[in-house]
């Protein structure tokens, strides 16, 4: 496996460099946890204040699309993990192929999300733009949908960044699968899995409540 | 000159603005922060001039609101938070740990560009007409009522936040992975422990501010949002999120200052820091406990009584590690061979002023007293004793201490001591009267006040004049030294830290030979023969 | 011969995640009252732990990496605990 010739002078070896990069990625993920953490606090505070409104709002979300998107994202994470596992010079085509698969699944996720947004717009459920919901629960439902749109939009933004990074990695791995690329792929994979984990929780908080009560 | 140092290696603009050398990036930060410091200072000066008389004669109420907001935003996010970490930290951290650079040099440069972008956006908001919410952006005023440039200023702060996160990330990883052989955790100079603790806060608190500002932007832009009481939203949720960042941010500002004081006190009393391990762990304890106290900003807001009790109790607890540090510095001075060079004057000033600021913080942590003192000048005086009396003083102390290393020149000791003494006097004259004003009940953030408060206000404004002049002094004598100062030797203080074992200014690659550390820091002796950490 | 098939545990994790997804959606329709929320979050935590341990390879990492991964969660806990304390105990 060809290695990049020079290691930046602050590192003693390529493995030193790569381990440092991975540590950096974990620090970044800790940062991201707290970014979504602020939203989570808001969610729990308002769910506590408006339990019925949140259940009702939740029942207005598209659980079919939500479930499909969860499966799509879990599968794309699996493909990325697979690509990391088999990464080598001989398998570079397969690696690039797996990453391309993950990218396609990511795009499918975004597409479905767009369809979902559109349906919610048609149902007048977009606060600030077109929100019509009457009755005593209107406030709680509106707060729920504000959370829904902000959280899923920020998550989708992370997805788009992740898709871009995966695309760059797919091209790079195809061209020259050095150990340096391996470290980069590893970092991007960590990021992608993290975005997956965020969605796992958003799914549980947004789509699942209130399904049993009829 | 035989070998070029990092300053003489290249003279082109390109070599500065595209540099990945941590030392040059530190200089870039230093120049930008100096600019922001004087912009924020100008706003404060205008406020103090207005407050010299009870009536409104210089500015209207609206302009006054914009002045204190600008002062707060610029000073907090564009001076205090980046001050020591991004200038002195950037320069000294790799030198202190015997490394060639930070772990991610390009990220470091990017962090400066992000910082400047955030700064430019904020300056634009100020030039376009200003913002009148106070630096705290409290809702619903900031989102539903204010007619000023809230969005632009919030965007500037939001962008600058990423610079903080990247710097924190870089420091954490660097201190973990790039230490010289033999440099174990307990051999690290305490400045590094405090910067590490600072970085933990930067990385974990700043994202919460980012998401809070996003929520504000959404609410303001769409006219509907999370904190909007009209639809049952809770403005207190904003305060919780904001102070989850902004209280730990106070420790972002003071911890690096404490770190500098360790170096100064130890060097100029020619002794090891008393109780090294206690001071080291106190830094991390402050970083962790500092996250548990934010509700003490909200005692009078209608927060639940239980929450207030817990936050009050935790606020007392966080004072313990801070007190450990003060006691240990004092014990370090005890029977030391004291030298009153300019950095030491700043360090001694820090210890006194920080103690006053910290103890009055305990007053404010008491629920009953806080009800009386909330939003009075008592609070203003308290946090200025920490932020200005503590942090800015430590910043100047560190700047003087490492100036010979950074520039390779010696400044005028006479003028440096004069400035240190003037700053100390001017500072106390400015802010001590504000304790009295606050205790007597004068509220903050007003441009007019009843005539009986005038005596104390005049004293404060007079002190501010002295303070402003004193802060301008270093600009002249430090600036003069860069061009005409005597050449500095490699180790003018005879200090054992690794940063003093290379030439002044250091070569681009920091060390000719990779240092190997063999002993604990601060092995000073009375007769100018400190044992270097690497010999 | 270089490996090109995914390891068994990777496939098992993937199938397990999909199974848990099916389980959580099914359970959401079971009338469990307040327990519905607990089940949903509990299964969410299990899925997240699977992703972290296997996909993110945390199982093979040293204590330092685990510490870094845990720090974010620990501070998230502080935010939720002290933040919610106010709202849950208001009178």
Instruction: Find, among A22, A198, A34, the residue nearest to B165 by Cα.
Output: A34
Closest CA to B139 of A37, A132, A205, A42: A42
Chain A CB contacts of C29 under 8 Å are: 211-212
Task: Return the domain boundaries, chain A.
Answer: 15-206
Distance CA B390, CA B386 (A): 5
Digits of tens for pLDDT over chain A (214 positions)?
344 447 888 888 888 888 899 999 999 999 999 999 999 999 999 999 999 999 999 999 999 999 999 999 999 999 999 999 988 878 888 999 999 999 999 999 999 999 999 999 999 999 888 888 888 889 999 999 999 999 999 999 999 999 999 999 999 888 876 777 888 899 999 999 999 999 999 999 999 998 886 5
Interface test with chain A among C27, C30, C48, by most A beta carbons within 10 Å: C48
Residue of chain B nearest A131, judged by CA positions: B224
Residue B443, sorted as left (phi over 0), alpha (psi -120 to 50) or beta, turns out to be beta
Taking the CA of residue B288 and the nearest CA in chain C, the distance in Å comes to 9
ipTM field: 0.94
Q: Which of A32, A50, A139 sits opposite B207 (nearest CB)?
A: A32
Question: How far apart (Å, rounded) are the C-alpha atoms in residues B294 and B387?
Answer: 17
Return the structure tokens found at B110: 């990017």
Neighbours of chain B (3+ CB pairs under 8 A): A, C
Distance of alpha carbon A138 from alpha carbon A125, whole angstroms: 11
Per-residue pLDDT at C1 exceeds 50: no
What is the token pair recorded at B72? 């707060």
pLDDT at B489: 93
pLDDT for res A7: 81
Judged against a pLDDT cut of 60, whether residue B504 lies above it is answered with: yes
Percent over 70 (pLDDT), chain C: 98
Please state, in angstroms and rounded to a whole number, the distance separating the CA atoms of residues A140 and B188.
Answer: 53
Indicate the DSSP class of residue A84.
Answer: H
- Could you read off the pLDDT of B427-482 as tens digits, one per residue? 999 999 999 999 999 999 999 999 999 999 999 999 999 999 999 999 999 999 99
Q: How far apart, in whole angstroms, are the C-alpha atoms of residue B256 and residue B191? A: 7
Higher-scoring residue by pLDDT: B534, B456? B456
Q: What is the dihedral of CA A179, A185, A190, A195, to 10 degrees?
A: 180
Interface membership of A39 toward B (CB under 8 Å): yes
Q: What is the DSSP string of B312-379?
A: HHHHHHHHHHHHHHHHHHHHHHTT------HHHHHHHHHHHHHHHHHHHHHHHHSHHHHHHHTTBHHH
Residue of B418, B397, B413 lying closest to B348 (CA atoms):
B397
Residue A213: per-residue pLDDT: 66
Instruction: Please indicate whether, in this complex, the C-beta atoms of B304 and C82 are within 8 angstroms of each other.
Output: no
Highest mean pLDDT among B335-339, B345-349, C5-9, C68-72: B345-349
Degrees to nearest 5, angle at CA B5 with B3 and B8:
100
Kindly determine whether residue B307 and residue C86, on different chains, have CB atoms separated by under 8 Å.
yes
Contact status of A9 with chain B (Cβ, < 8 Å): yes
> Tens digits of per-residue pLDDT, C22-59?
999 999 999 888 899 999 999 999 999 999 999 999 98
Name the band, by pLDDT with cuts 50, 70 and 90, for residue B530.
confident
- B311 — contact with chain C (CB < 8 Å)? yes
CA–CA distance, C53 with C59 (Å, rounded to integer): 5
The three-class DSSP label of residue B103 is coil
Put simply, the answer to whether B204 touches C72 (Cβ < 8 Å) is: yes
Q: In a mutagenesis test of the A interface, which of B220, B231, B241 is the best target, namely the one with the most A β-carbons within 10 Å?
A: B231
Q: Encoding tokens for residue B213?
A: 């500002």
pLDDT (mean) for B31-56: 95
pLDDT in the model for residue B2: 62
CB B153 within 8 A of CB B122: yes
Number of CB atoms found within 10 A of residue B186's CB: 11
How many Å is the Cα radius of gyration of chain C? Answer: 18
Residue ranges per structural domain of chain B: 22-501
Is the bond into B505 cis (omega within 30 degrees of 0)? yes
Mutate to test the interface with C, among B307, B308, B311 (most CBs of C within 10 A): B307
Distances (CA, A) of B143 to A136, B126, B225, B231: 25, 18, 9, 14
Cβ atoms of residues A154 and B158 within 8 Å: no
pLDDT of residue A8: 84
Specify whether the CB–CB gap between B454 and B54 falls below 8 A.
yes
User: For the residues B116-123, what does the mean pLDDT come to?
Assistant: 97
Biggest CA pair distance of chain A? 68
pLDDT of residue A28: 96
| Other beta carbons less than 10 A from residue A118's beta carbon | 10
Supply A70's token pair. 């969860």
CA distance A68 to chain B (A): 28
Among chain B residues, CA nearest to A35: B207
* Cα of B69 vs its chain's centroid, Å: 18
Residues in C touching A29 (Cβ below 8 Å): 69, 72
Do the chains contact at A86 and C6, CB–CB below 8 Å? yes
Residues of chain B contacting C64 with CB distance shorter than 8 Å? 176
- Taking 3-state DSSP, the helix, strand and coil percentages for chain A, each rounded to the nearest 5, stand at 80, 0, 20
List the single range of A175-179, B161-165, B252-256 with lowest mean pLDDT. A175-179
Specify the pLDDT at position C91: 76
Contact A49 B232 (CB under 8 A): yes
Question: How many beta-carbon pairs below 8 A join chains A and B?
Answer: 111
Question: Are A38 and B178 in contact (CB < 8 Å)?
Answer: no
So what CATH class is A15-206? mainly alpha
What does the pLDDT average to over B284-302?
95
Q: Which run of H or of E encompasses A131? A: strand A130-131
| Cβ–Cβ pairs < 8 A, chains B and C | 43
Distance CA B283, CA B255 (A): 7
Nearest chain A residue to B171 by CA distance is A24
- Nearest Cα to Cα of residue C89 among B304, B313, B234: B304
> From the candidates B248, B306, B311, which should be mutated to test the interface with C, based on the most C CB atoms within 10 A?
B306
Residue B219 has pLDDT above 80, yes or no: yes
pLDDT at residue C2, rounded to an integer: 62
Q: Which CATH class is domain B22-501?
A: mainly alpha
Nearest to A152 by CA among A128, A122, A126: A126
| Residue A12: per-residue pLDDT | 87
Average of pLDDT values for B264-290?
95
Q: CB within 8 A of B42, min separation 6: which ones?
A: none
List beta partners, residue B376: B443
């Amino acid at each position: 496996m060809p290695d990049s010739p020079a290691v930046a002078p602050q590192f003693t070896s390529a493995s030193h460099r790569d381990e440092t990069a991975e540590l950096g990625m974990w620090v970044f993920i800790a940062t991201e946890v707290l970014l979504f953490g602020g939203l989570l606090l808001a969610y729990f505070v308002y769910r506590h204040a408006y339990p019925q409104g949140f259940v009702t709002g939740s029942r207005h979300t598209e659980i079919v699309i939500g479930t499909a998107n969860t499966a799509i994202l879990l599968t794309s994470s699996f493909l990325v993990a697979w690509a990391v596992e088999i990464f080598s010079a001989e398998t570079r085509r397969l690696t690039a192929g797996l990453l391309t698969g993950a990218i396609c699944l990511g795009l499918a996720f975004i597409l479905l999300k767009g369809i979902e947004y559109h349906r919610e717009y048609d149902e007048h459920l977009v606060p600030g733009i077109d929100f019509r919901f009457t009755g005593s629960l209107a406030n709680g439902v509106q707060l729920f949908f504000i959370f829904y749109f902000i959280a899923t939009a920020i998550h989708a933004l992370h997805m788009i960044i992740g898709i871009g990074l995966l695309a760059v990695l797919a091209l790079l791995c195809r061209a020259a699968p050095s150990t340096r690329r391996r470290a980069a792929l590893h970092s991007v994979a960590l990021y992608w899995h993290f975005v997956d984990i965020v969605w796992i929780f958003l799914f549980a908080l947004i789509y699942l409540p209130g399904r049993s009560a009829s | 000159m035989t070998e070029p140092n990092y300053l003489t290696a290249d003279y082109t603009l390109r070599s500065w603005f595209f540099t990945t050398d941590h030392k040059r990036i530190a200089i870039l930060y230093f120049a930008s922060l100096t600019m922001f410091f004087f912009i924020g200072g100008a706003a404060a000066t205008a406020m103090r001039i207005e407050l010299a008389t009870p009536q409104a004669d210089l500015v209207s109420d609206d302009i006054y609101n914009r002045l204190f907001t600008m002062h707060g935003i610029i000073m907090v996010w564009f001076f205090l938070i980046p001050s020591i970490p991004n200038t002195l930290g950037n320069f000294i951290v790799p030198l202190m740990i015997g490394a060639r650079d930070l772990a991610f040099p390009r990220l470091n440069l990017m962090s400066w560009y992000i910082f400047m972008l955030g700064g430019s956006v904020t300056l634009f908001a100020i030039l376009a007409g200003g913002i009148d919410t106070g630096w705290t952006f409290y809702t619903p005023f900031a989102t539903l009522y204010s007619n000023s440039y809230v969005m632009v200023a919030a965007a500037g702060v939001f962008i600058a936040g990423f610079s903080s996160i990247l710097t924190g990330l870089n420091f954490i990883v660097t201190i973990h992975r790039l230490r010289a052989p033999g440099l174990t955790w307990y051999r690290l100079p305490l400045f590094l422990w405090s910067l590490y603790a600072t970085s933990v806060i930067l990385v974990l608190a700043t994202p919460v501010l980012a998401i809070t500002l996003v929520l504000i932007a959404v609410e303001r832009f769409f006219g509907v949002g999370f904190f909007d009481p009209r639809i049952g939203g809770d403005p207190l949720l904003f305060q919780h999120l904001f102070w989850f960042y902004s209280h730990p941010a106070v420790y972002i500002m003071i911890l690096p200052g404490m770190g500098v004081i360790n170096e100064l006190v130890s060097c100029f009393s020619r002794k090891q820091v008393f109780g090294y391990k206690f001071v080291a762990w106190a830094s991390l304890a402050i970083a962790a406990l500092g996250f548990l106290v934010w509700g003490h900003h909200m005692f009078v807001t209608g927060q639940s009584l239980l929450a207030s009790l817990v936050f009050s109790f935790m606020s007392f607890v966080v004072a313990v590690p801070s007190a450990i540090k003060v006691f240990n510095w004092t014990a370090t001075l005890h029977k030391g061979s004291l030298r009153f060079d300019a950095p030491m004057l700043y360090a001694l000033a820090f210890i006194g002023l920080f103690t006053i600021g910290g103890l009055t913080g305990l007053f404010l942590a008491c629920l009953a007293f806080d009800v009386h003192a909330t939003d009075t000048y008592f609070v203003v005086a308290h946090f200025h004793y920490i932020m200005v009396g503590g942090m800015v003083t430590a910043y100047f102390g560190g700047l003087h201490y490492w100036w010979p290393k950074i520039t390779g020149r010696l400044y005028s000791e006479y003028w440096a001591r004069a400035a240190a003494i003037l700053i100390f006097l001017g500072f106390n004259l400015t802010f001590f009267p504000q304790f009295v004003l606050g205790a007597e009940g004068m509220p903050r953030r007003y441009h007019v006040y009843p005539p009986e408060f005038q005596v104390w206000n005049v004293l404060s404004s007079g002190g501010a004049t002295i303070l402003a002049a004193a802060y301008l002094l270093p600009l002249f004598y430090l600036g003069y030294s860069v061009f005409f100062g005597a050449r500095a030797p490699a180790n003018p203080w005879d200090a054992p830290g690794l940063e003093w074992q290379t030439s002044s200014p250091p070569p681009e690659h920091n060390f000719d030979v990779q240092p190997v550390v063999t002993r604990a820091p601060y092995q000073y002796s009375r007769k100018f023969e400190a044992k270097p950490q690497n010999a | 011969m270089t490996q090109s098939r995914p390891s068994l545990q990777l496939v098992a994790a993937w199938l397990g995640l999909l199974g848990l997804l099916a389980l959580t959606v099914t359970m959401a329709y079971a009338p469990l009252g307040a327990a519905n929320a607990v089940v949903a979050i509990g299964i969410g935590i299990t899925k997240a732990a699977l992703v972290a341990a296997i996909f993110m390879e945390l199982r093979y990492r040293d204590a330092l990496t685990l510490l870094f991964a845990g720090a974010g969660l620990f501070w998230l806990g502080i935010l939720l605990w002290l933040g919610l304390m106010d709202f849950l105990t208001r009178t």
